[in-house]
Amino acid sequence: MKKTRVARSFYTKRSLPQPVIEHWPADARELRALITAPLAKGELPRVIVGDGQHLRPGLIGERKFDVIRTEKCQRIVSLDRLSGIVRVESGVRWRDLQEVVAERGFSLHRYNLYPSTATIGGLLARRQALPKHLFYGDLRDGCMALSAVSPATDRYRYIPAPRKASGPDLRHLYIGGEGLLGAILDATLVVLKPMPGRLYSFAVEDVAHATKLARQIFAQGVRPSWSHFEGATSTLSMAVHAPASLLYSLDKHLRTYIGADFTLAHQDELAARRQVLEDNHPDRRLASSASRTLAVAFDLTRLAAGIKALGALPAGLEIHNWSAHAALAYLTYESDAQMQAAIKTAVPGALDARPLIDGGAVSWPQWAQSLKTQLDAGRLLATGP
């Protein structure tokens, strides 16, 4: 389906360039057809867009292009109750998936905080600043299987099991691939039975104190479902889901062995807090502060020193995606000039630094150009070298 009247406000609000035409596939089958059918004479290369979370304008190598909007590809293909996996089309939004899974007696509470409006395909396809670490809520770890398509391939399917019979693991051509080589059609994610939860909130002095406390807790073998630091209130929050008996033991353990005071919130308050944090996630392109926000991934041993080295204190600071090894800080500045000055700082311990609204050009290595030539020789996709 083509929609010649482009919803310009969608792109303006997200600081994305305007396409000429929008294509709206109704399901994964139509999405596949739009990627595999050769461009007719006069047709423009295409960019794949869900909510726009994964897209960096600097990736688009064409001055004029069309867009494939995936938001109507939102079917829940299947839910295997025995194996605890759900297969969904790539256009399903994160909040909608949480609600559907909850209605069917399962939960996604063990995953990190993500923007509520982001699509599953976009969350998987976006460039990731942090390497993935097992058992810390990364959506990439929970992706057991996926179907994808490139212009040069009919379909790629990595099945959940048996692993050794499913062929080469090419998932990461598409996971983290930013839509350069093709589109994710559907993904299979791990879901869990709901468990009791606690939200532990620690009042800390600064980032250094929060980091020290988090490392102590991780060292005790505690694996929070998600962790969040808010600079405005100097609060480190950790959500933990486990059987009730273990949670009671953890309450005592934190007080006795960690020696930290905390406030407790239980199931309903925990769910409400998660919803607020995801609705206001700093990684949203729609946020009014997005153009002044810098995302910096740090080695956890250098997190506090790295933020201090950035110079002028940001107007807003949130730290997400904590693990025993690294964390992702979002620093919002009063002005673009302050943010640009921070970008130029050589930050010790920074694994990656990028502005959320990044229009800069991308330099492509030879291997990326070779992959593009093999999987999209006709440049049906406007992204990439």
- The three-state (H, E, C) secondary structure of 231-295, written as one string: CCCCEEEEEEECCHHHHHHHHHHHHHHHCCCCEEECHHHHHHHHHHHHHCCCCCCCCCCHHHEEE
Q: Is the pLDDT of residue 46 over 90?
A: yes
Give the pLDDT confidence score for residue 5 in this predicted structure: 67
**H/E segment holding residue 326:** strand 326-332
Tell me the average pLDDT across 179-200: 95
pLDDT band for position 165 (cuts 50, 70, 90): low
Q: Is the pLDDT of residue 19 over 60?
A: yes
Tell me the average pLDDT across 269-287: 94
Q: Which of 112, 111, 98, 114 is nearest to 283 (CA)?
A: 114
Give, in order, the Cα–Cα distances in Å from 304 to each of 173, 177, 307.
34, 30, 5
Q: Is the pLDDT of residue 161 over 80?
A: no
Averaged pLDDT score across all residues of the chain: 89
Q: Is the pLDDT of residue 279 over 60?
A: yes
Give the Cα separation of 297 and 325 in Å (integer).
11
Tell me the average pLDDT across 206-224: 93
Is 214 within 8 Å of 322 (Cβ atoms)? yes
Q: Is the pLDDT of residue 254 over 80?
A: yes
Give the Cα separation of 27 and 241 in Å (integer).
35
Give, in order, the Cα–Cα distances in Å from 239 to each of 25, 94, 157.
38, 19, 34
Q: Is the pLDDT of residue 166 over 60?
A: no
Residue with tokens 């201090």: 308
Could you tell me the residue ranges of all domains in the chain? 2-71, 76-190
Give the pLDDT confidence score for residue 246 in this predicted structure: 92
Q: Which of 128-137, 185-194, 333-342 has the lowest mean pLDDT?
A: 128-137
**H/E segment holding residue 353:** strand 350-355
Give the Cα separation of 239 and 171 in Å (integer).
30
DSSP-derived secondary structure for 16-51: -PPPS-EE--SSHHHHHHHHHSPPPTTPPPEEEESS
Q: Which of 7-21, 73-87, 193-207, 353-367 has the lowest mean pLDDT?
A: 353-367
Give the Cα separation of 34 and 140 in Å (integer).
26
Q: Is the pLDDT of residue 73 over 60?
A: yes
Is it true that 2-71 and 76-190 share their CATH fold?
no
Give the pLDDT confidence score for residue 353 in this predicted structure: 84
Residue type, 325: H
More confident call, 161 vs 225: 225
* 105 contacts: CB under 8 Å, gap ≥ 6: 81, 193, 194
Give the Cα separation of 303 and 206 in Å (integer).
11
Q: Which of 115, 209, 207, 132 is nearest to 171 (CA)?
A: 132
Give the Cα separation of 307 and 327 in Å (integer).
12
Q: Which of 350, 296, 352, 327 is nearest to 138 (CA)?
A: 327
Tell me the average pLDDT across 329-350: 83
Give the pLDDT confidence score for residue 3 in this predicted structure: 63
Q: Is the pLDDT of residue 341 over 90?
A: no
Question: Span 76-190: which CATH code?
Answer: 3.30.465.10
Q: Is the pLDDT of residue 360 over 90?
A: no
More confident call, 177 vs 162: 177
At the top level of CATH, which class does the domain 2-71 belong to? alpha beta
Is 345 within 8 Å of 310 (Cβ atoms)? yes
